[in-house]
Amino acid sequence: MVADKFERKQFAEFNYLQYELSNISTIIIWVLELLLLSIYGYKSVRSYIRSRNSHRRTYDY
């Protein structure tokens, strides 16, 4: 069975698992990240401004 053939290995034996991204893929990742961060920032600021404006419109009698 598999348990008979199991051999524990050190993590250092897997240091050959490396990958290199091309410049185009790095640029695409950066652009997507900046786009997502800007959308999140825009929505956060818009929500903050709307919540401040909604509190000003309420009248306490």
Give domain limits for the chain.
3-59
Q: How far apart are CA 15 and CA 18, in angstroms?
A: 7
Res 59: pLDDT:
61
- DSSP state, residue 61: -
Distances (CA, A) of 58 to 46, 50, 61: 19, 13, 10
pLDDT in tens, 3-55: 788 888 888 887 787 888 999 999 999 999 999 999 999 999 999 998 888 76
- Close Cβ partners of 24 (under 8 Å, ≥ 6 residues apart): none
Task: Report the helix count and the strand count for the chain, using DSSP H and E.
Answer: 2, 0
| pLDDT at residue 61 greater than cutoff 60 | no
